Structure 1
């Protein structure tokens, strides 16, 4: 029996949570006797980052000849060369003119979007008809829309949700046009089943979803008790750590920097360390320089071993505005780090139990207060770290495996009996 996993973008070379879960899920299905293929549609050269069983096939269906009517991206020159400034100014004016003409010719931005989407969907239909899978699992509602728009598929489809469901189809986070929201929402009617991360996320599914819904959490590798952070150990310097994509709109690392800057002078033996890469590296670097804290706050870059970095820390700070799950947060708990996040942040407020395994702050002032509590109290850090370690044991690979096999079997059996 063949199962096709589809992540239409960012799987090749991708280091994010969706790519990791896609790879883990593929390995689970392969280990349980299914023939597994992962498909993407990306104009890149690359390969999967996370380990896959050698029996799993990865296919990129990208075709340079597929017609896509693309707008020209607008670029703002930020340098000081006057000749380049004139060059890019002219190019930007041309791009604006070209884009207006294209949108007018296509009878609107929505029609342009749908034209390109339909052509990609036709390519997906041809590929799916060739592969003939018994089940399709999409790794986002965006991937679901890509394969179903204007198509009639006879294969049952499941969707894996690696965030809060409404983040995938609504405009709650901003940036989506109304026609995109309508298309993404309507695609839920094509689903036979869906996986969500927390039971509370059921209420964020649209009314047109009528399939199987199962709560299946992400797996966190268990850390042995001998490898936990020892908060009672004597040391000369202490570390507050954050791991995640450098993205101030979502991860809000700038807030952690501001908070630490208020405490740095009072606690000279403490440092703040960031691991991760992202578009906001330069912004955060400038913020650190302007605060005069380059010797206390560090942007370390990418790490392929976040657990090792966490074991060397004392507190995990996670000031995200929104999350689906908070994989780095869960991993921090697994090594015995007490954690701080915002009470309003989805995912984070599911993992942190306020006053037990960490603190949920209502605002910046509250986060600073709780951080200072942990700085001053190694016993509290130890107690919260132990409780976090115990709590996160329930998020394991065996549980994920059982959940997915049950969901897959339920949908396939239901489909076979129709």
Structure 2
């Protein structure tokens, strides 16, 4: 069985959950004697996968600079106090406004830019897939699906992997999308033979255009032996609150974690807050910490290839995300025996955390602060919740999750033959 896994862009040099799952599927499928191709269209041609990829997996980057992509530049308002940065970003914003205005005029509006870019990518993908002739295509996002089906339906069964709540993929509930983009995204579901969602509750958020088979398959979680869990009863000079995620305030809300910690830092002088991850908001977050004069208590550690080892050095996992799908960092924290704190309103997080059992679900920022202090003050509570967190993610073992995926893929392939 020949399988093409499509991560249409940003696969190379990316440390996100989507890329991790793409590699997980590819690595396990080749061990089932499948021919697996992981295909992307990534302008970072010198980049490489950031997660292990079995040498038996073929990696194809379709990027071709002749297929021109035009981009509206997101305008940025500098919020810090540095006068040099203020002047730089003010001039940059003026330049970007001129660029955007000219681009919109050239293509007759934002929708015209989107359509131009899409047609360029569609030609590339459909030519490639027609030559490869896979038995099954797995798209790692709905945008990938649009790119391989727009204007011409390929005669191959397609499965889509949904990395968040499904309506995040085809609506503007989280960020701006033009009307034509939302229309095309929603129509793309018609071409699906099947779709994978992360939780049963997410099926309610599929569009009416979807008529295929929906199957619930969670993300895999690395399992830990009981004797390798965090030891909450060991006295330390310094205790860590940890967050592992891309540095992105609009989603991961590290600024909220800093705000909360700043209110309690004086009361708990032997506790620190540690961030692991990279992202566009690093400078903004560093400036926030500097303004609070907490550089010796809050640390940005960068990317780690060993998240489990970093998690085992901590006492509490603080995760104030606004929205999630099935957060891998959260489940890894639970696997090593850390008590976890998230927001009740956050999708995915509110599926994994059982309030006051394996962690806390907070109603707002003030409530999150109070719950964090409860854990700081009580090592027995940390230990109890950590053990329950470890137990609650056992059902998400890599073997169990892959078996569900393999069954789904083979069943779809059989129906098409």
Fold shared per TM-score above 0.5: yes
1:37 aligns with 2:41: no
1:386 aligned residue: 387
Give CA-to-partner distance per residue, 1:183-208, whole Å, 9 cap, x none.
10110010000111111111011111
After superposition, the Cα gap between the structure-2 partners of 1:365 and 1:90, relative to the gap in structure 1 and judged at 3 Å, is closer
Shift of 1:102: 0.5
**Within 2, Cα distance between the matches of 1:211 and 1:217?**
19
1:18 aligned residue: 18
Give CA-to-partner distance per residue, 1:52-79, whole Å, 9 cap, x none.
121111111112222x362574777988
1:201 aligned residue: 202
1:317 aligned residue: 318
Shift of 1:119: 2.6
SS of match in other structure, 1:394? helix
SS of match in other structure, 2:333? helix
Query: What do you get for the CA RMSD once the two structures are aligned?
Result: 2.2
Q: How does 1:15-414 map to 2 (within 5 A)?
A: 15-45=15-45, 46-66=47-67, 68=68, 70-71=70-71, 73=73, 80=84, 91-92=95-96, 94-104=98-108, 108-414=109-415
* Alpha carbons 2:168, 2:174 under 8 Å: kept: yes
**Within 2, Cα distance between the matches of 1:376 and 1:86?**
45
SS of match in other structure, 2:396? coil
After superposition, the Cα gap between the structure-2 partners of 1:290 and 1:109, relative to the gap in structure 1 and judged at 3 Å, is closer
**Within 2, Cα distance between the matches of 1:288 and 1:84?**
21
The worse-fitting range, judged by mean Cα deviation, of 382-391 and 284-293 is 284-293
Shift of 1:301: 1.4
Mark the runs of 5 or more structure 1 residues left unpaired by the alignment: none
**Within 1, Cα distance between the matches of 2:268 and 2:289?**
17
Give CA-to-partner distance per residue, 1:261-312, whole Å, 9 cap, x none.
1111111111111111111111111111111211111111111111111101
Shift of 1:90: 8.0
**Within 1, Cα distance between the matches of 2:315 and 2:42?**
40
TM-score by length of 1: 0.94
**Within 2, Cα distance between the matches of 1:93 and 1:315?**
43
**Within 1, Cα distance between the matches of 2:90 and 2:204?**
52
Q: How many aligned residue pairs are there? A: 412
After superposition, the Cα gap between the structure-2 partners of 1:308 and 1:132, relative to the gap in structure 1 and judged at 3 Å, is same
After superposition, the Cα gap between the structure-2 partners of 1:254 and 1:76, relative to the gap in structure 1 and judged at 3 Å, is closer
**Within 2, Cα distance between the matches of 1:290 and 1:318?**
22
* Alpha carbons 2:8, 2:41 under 8 Å: kept: yes
**Within 2, Cα distance between the matches of 1:363 and 1:75?**
29
* Alpha carbons 2:104, 2:110 under 8 Å: kept: no
Give CA-to-partner distance per residue, 1:340-389, whole Å, 9 cap, x none.
00000001011110010000000111111111111111111100000000
**Within 2, Cα distance between the matches of 1:272 and 1:121?**
45
* Alpha carbons 1:212, 1:411 under 8 Å: kept: no
* Alpha carbons 2:242, 2:317 under 8 Å: kept: yes
**Within 1, Cα distance between the matches of 2:352 and 2:77?**
43
After superposition, the Cα gap between the structure-2 partners of 1:350 and 1:152, relative to the gap in structure 1 and judged at 3 Å, is same
**Within 2, Cα distance between the matches of 1:90 and 1:253?**
29
Give CA-to-partner distance per residue, 1:162-214, whole Å, 9 cap, x none.
11111111111022122211110110010000111111111011111111111
Shift of 1:33: 1.4
* Alpha carbons 2:145, 2:160 under 8 Å: kept: yes
Mark the runs of 5 or more structure 2 residues left unpaired by the alignment: none
**Within 1, Cα distance between the matches of 2:392 and 2:87?**
60
Shift of 1:101: 2.8
**Within 2, Cα distance between the matches of 1:382 and 1:258?**
26
**Within 2, Cα distance between the matches of 1:302 and 1:217?**
25
Shift of 1:410: 1.6
After superposition, the Cα gap between the structure-2 partners of 1:406 and 1:91, relative to the gap in structure 1 and judged at 3 Å, is same
* Alpha carbons 1:122, 1:151 under 8 Å: kept: no
